[in-house]
Amino acid sequence: MSYFYTFLVYLFYGLAFFSIGCAILFRNFRHSKLVISHSLWTLAAFGFAYAFYEWSELYINLFGDRIREPKSTFIEWLRLVKLTIAFSFLMLFSWMVTTVCLPSLKKQMRWLLITVTAIYGTIFAYSFIIYDLDKNVIDKLEIYARYILAFPAAFIAGISLANYGKQLTDDKKSYGLYFRLTGYAFVTLSIISGLFSRDNQVIFFLQLIVAYLLLISLYLALNVFDKEKQRIITSQLRQAYISDKYKAIGQLASGVAHEINNPLASSTLSLDMLENRLSESKQLELAKRTRLGIERASTICKELLVYSRTSEEKPHLAYIDAIIQSALQLLSHKTRGYVITVSCDKESTLFTNPIKIEELIINLLSNAIDASPVGNEIKITVEETVIDGCEYVSISVCDQGCGMDISTQEKALEPFFTTKPIGKGTGLGLAICAEIATDHGGELTINSTPNVGTTITAKLAKEM
């Protein structure tokens, strides 16, 4: 291999891994919800360490014949130390990235990593104790490091990344393809670099090509973090705008409710006194209608105050099933005549203010009852899921009622929007539920078909 060819191959091969480190280093993963984000720093460390090793190999290949003892032995030692540090970061990355795999597969992979590390450690210790660590022994240890450490570590990392990419693809995430390609490139590089000698120029050239394919696929996969950050910023700005808007509405509603509530209380007291003096049935009927109107206005005021009020109770760990049973007890007068089915693990918990979750369930269940004919079944389902490493609890209320069309669903979460007849609803129930879901780091979703039924799901972060 000519000096010029050697210079170019080692230079660009090291540059590929240095670029991998830079591609990861210059991205902000702090607010990322992707489970793989917490392990990428180890891949960046491997990229920088291995690039430094390859460039030092370039120097040794070009000028090694000019180095004399004892410097040559010292330089061989440095080569082994640099290679071991680089492969240690690769092993750590491989260990951390297995979290995306199924528990059984993750356990097997990690046991394999522990085993190969123990084997290499035993060989290294044996060589250090029995032999003088001359150039030949160090060369053999470097070969063992590639076969025993680098090959299984890179292979496992590649399998894990490909598996993660498949999971994302199955979830209809377009960037899952790039993670799969990154995994395949890792597996290919592990086979070429770990099982074949780079003394063959063709093999070394293939390593160079695959390294750049790895760089390109990883770069494309990492673009998802830039898009994710942009989505987070856009969502935060939109949420801030909506929050300010609803805060202003809440303050106005609270003031109006307080002002109206006082004369309503006075009117109720006067009506009580008037009813005691009335004797004719027609007059009593008119007084009854008046009371119904006052009570209706009072109910609206209370809901306005609930919507605008911030709970002072501190959140704590609560059993969801117990909250559901409490809500059902409070609504027992409305649930008569309906079949209420609850599917919830009694041990399922949520870090929350139980009063808020109870309020959410009462509102959703009340809407389901209002939309369903008497005798129909209403299902309450609680499921625990893990999305991008974050645990969520989903509370769904499903009815077989009148359902909603698309335009109604789009407006359903807006405050004061209601399709119920005058006097039946205030339009604040779902708005309150959406606010509760947002406060719990989640969202409220509606899935409805006219004349078939509606399922409303509150997805809540298990820990706020």
Give the model's pLDDT for residue 309: 56
Span 101-127, pLDDT tens digits: 888 888 899 999 999 999 988 888 887
Token digits for 196? 């074949």
Per-residue pLDDT at 318 exceeds 60:
yes
Which 3 state secondary structure label does DSSP give 381? strand
Residues 6+ apart with CB under 8 A from 183: 157, 158, 159, 160, 161, 162, 163, 164, 165
Which of 15-24, 133-142, 322-331 bottoms out in mean pLDDT, i.e. has the lowest?
Answer: 133-142
- Token output for 6: 């050697």
The predicted pLDDT at position 131 comes to 67
265 sits in the region (left: phi over 0; alpha: psi -120 to 50; else beta) called: alpha
Task: Name which of 27-31, 300-304, 307-311 the model is least confident about.
Answer: 307-311
Mean of pLDDT values over 387-399: 85
pLDDT tens digits, one per residue of 69-99: 555 667 777 888 888 899 999 999 999 999 8
Residue type, 221: A
The secondary element (H helix, E strand) that includes residue 196 is none
Residue 187 has pLDDT above 80, yes or no: yes
Name, of 9-18, 136-145, 222-231, 407-416, the range with top average pLDDT. Answer: 9-18
| Residue 53: pLDDT over 60 | yes
**What's the whole-model pTM score?**
0.55
**Dist CA 77 CA 247 (whole Å):** 66
Lowest mean pLDDT among 55-59, 310-314, 361-365: 310-314
| 316 DSSP 8-state letter | E
- pLDDT level of residue 464 (50, 70, 90 thresholds): low
End-to-end CA gap in the chain: 61
Query: Quick one: pLDDT at residue 382?
Result: 92
pLDDT at 462 over 60: yes
H-assigned helices in 171-200 = 176-195
Cis? peptide before 70, omega within 30° of 0: yes
CB 47 within 8 A of CB 17: yes
